[in-house]
Amino acid sequence: MFSFLSIKKNLTPVVATTIVTGLMLTGCNEEGATQAQQGGQPMQVRVMELKPESVSLSKELPGRTSAYRIAEVRARVSGIILKRNFVEGADVSEGDLLFEIDPAPYQAARDSAKASLERAQANYMTAKAQADRCRKLIESSAISRQAYDDAIALELTSKADVAAAKASLQTAEINLGYTLVTSPISGRIGRAEVTEGAYVQQGTATLLATVQQLDPLYVDLTQSADEVLELKRQMEAGEISKDKNGGSRIQIFLSNGTQFPEEGILQFSDITVNETTGMVLLRGIIPNPDYKLLPGMFVKTKLDEGVAENALMVPQAIVSRNSKGNATVLAVTADNKVQTKIFNASIAIGDEWLVEDGLEAGDRLILENRQRLRPGMPVVPVLDKGTETK
């Protein structure tokens, strides 16, 4: 191993002096280059300029589907089930015959009521004829006033008996009609709760089957009451406006992540806050023509809340957090120097943050080399072409 001193001993004075001078000049050149890189030549950086735009706001909420209409088909008269006229799980239409209850006792009651009506009508005809004769005789005082009053009272009583008999006959016919159990709505019918030969009761309203309308379907959502109030405040302040569809569209995503092809609309927001969870119930309605959605399914929903006018959007990739957890970005000042800006953003839309405050339209945000930059450093900003048309 040779040292510089050993080499110097073997060299002539002129050669040694030349080598030492060259090494000194090399060190000075490297130090000067480093100084020029740090302070003499500003770094070139790509920047984006914040521009206001209209942004559709949406919220992802969990939801559960429920039938649009549910009809529990129950017995309205007592008797034996003679026949079931549907296939379990099939589609039925309003008015379709579902069950037949033994009609014999109700046919007999109807016939008895009909006979009672005919007897009452005959008695009324007799009483009316007698009352008409008494009206003529009382004018000539041929009968007493008491006989006249009795005839008129008998006529009115007979007339009332006819009305009562008609009501009894109508009740009997209604009960006879109830022996034919029909579907009250159109939809899909579930399993039969009773079989042929079973005895059903009017008093307990025996459940026979359930029909559910599946097109459309309800989607029940829950949202924080605080978020609902903040949304209303933003709308009243003009920060958010309804879109052309009223800001109430709902998109459905199934448990496997696929999007349901039909879009729904928000129907109403409940006026009561759940005391335990602090949540508000929202109900939407969505078309379900192919019955791909079933009642009780858990789904993910995307609810359009409105449109933020003149919104500023910042890419999440250029946002950092300081020691206090505040969102920060590096910006370029008017004199082309690096500046750290703190801003507020709590709403993420895609891969961007919606700026609430702290940044303004026209701010130039640095997109690259952020780890090598420090506040106050001069830079040469170059507008990124990908953000010019945004």
The pLDDT confidence band at residue 113, using thresholds 50, 70 and 90, is very high
Mean pLDDT across 108-118 = 97
Q: Using the predicted structure, report yes or no on whether residue 269 has a pLDDT greater than 70.
A: yes
Chain position carrying tokens 């949540």: 279
> Is the pLDDT at 322 greater than 80, yes or no?
yes
CB atoms within 10 A of CB 65: 21
Q: CA torsion angle for 191, 192, 196, 201 (degrees, to 10)? A: 170
Q: What is the pTM of this model?
A: 0.65
**Over residues 310-335, mean pLDDT:** 91
> Do residues 217 and 65 make contact, with C-beta atoms less than 8 angstroms apart?
yes
Of the pLDDT bands very low, low, confident and very high (cuts 50, 70, 90), residue 27 is very low
Per-residue model confidence (pLDDT) at position 261:
92
Instruction: Give the model's confidence band at 23: pLDDT under 50 very low, under 70 low, under 90 confident, else very high.
Output: very low
DSSP reduced 3-state for 107:
helix
Cα–Cα separations (whole angstroms), residue 204 to 194, 199, 207: 14, 12, 9
| Rounded mean pLDDT, 311-338 | 92
One-letter identity of residue 116: S
- Which domains are assigned to the chain? 58-66+215-309 (2.40.30.170), 104-178 (1.10.287.470), 312-387 (2.40.420.20)
**pLDDT tier, 149 (very low <50, low <70, confident <90, very high otherwise):** very high
- Mean confidence (pLDDT) of the chain: 84
Q: Is the distance from CB of 378 to CB of 42 less than 8 angstroms?
A: yes
Q: What pLDDT is attached to residue 278?
A: 85
* Confidence band for 174, pLDDT divided at 50, 70 and 90: very high
Under 8 Å between Cβ of 312 and 52 = yes
The answer to whether residue 171 scores a pLDDT higher than 50 is: yes
Please give the structure tokens belonging to residue 9: 């001993």
> Residue 209 contacts by C-beta under 8 Å, 6 or more apart in sequence?
73, 86, 98, 99, 189, 190, 191, 192, 193
DSSP tag of 386: G
Is residue 283 within 8 A of residue 264, CB to CB? The reply is no
HSE-up of 167 (CA within 13 Å, CB side)?
Answer: 6
The string of pLDDT tens digits covering residues 155-167 is: 999 999 999 999 9
> Torsions phi, psi of 253, nearest 5?
-120, 130
In this prediction, residues 255-269 reach a mean pLDDT of 85
pLDDT, tens digit (0-9, with 9 covering 90-100), for 95-106: 999 999 999 999
- The proportion of the chain whose per-residue pLDDT surpasses 70, expressed as a percent, equals 85
Most confident of 140-154, 176-190, 333-347, 367-381: 176-190
pLDDT exceeds cutoff 90 at 385: no
Residues in contact with 106: Cβ distance below 8 Å, sequence separation at least 6, in sequence order: 77, 79, 172, 175, 176, 178, 179
* Contact indicator for 246, 303 with CB cutoff of 8 Å: no
Q: Say which residue the tokens 């990124």 belong to.
A: 384
What was the pLDDT predicted at 350? Answer: 80
pLDDT exceeding 90 applies to what percent of the chain? 56
45, pLDDT greater than 50 = yes
Contacts of 373-376 with CB under 8 Å at 24 or more apart are: 373/43, 373/45, 373/330, 373/338, 374/338, 375/337, 375/338, 375/339, 375/340, 376/337, 376/338
The predicted pLDDT at position 244 comes to 58
Q: Find, among 239, 184, 187, the residue nearest to 55 by Cα.
A: 239
- pLDDT for position 81: 97
pLDDT at 254: 87
Contacts of 207 (CB under 8 A, 6+ apart): 72, 73, 74, 193
Query: Minimal CA–CA distance to 287: which of 214, 359, 381, 180?
Result: 214
Stretch (H or E) spanning 345: none
Peptide bond into 216 cis (omega under 30): yes
**Cα–Cα dist 354/388, whole Å:** 19
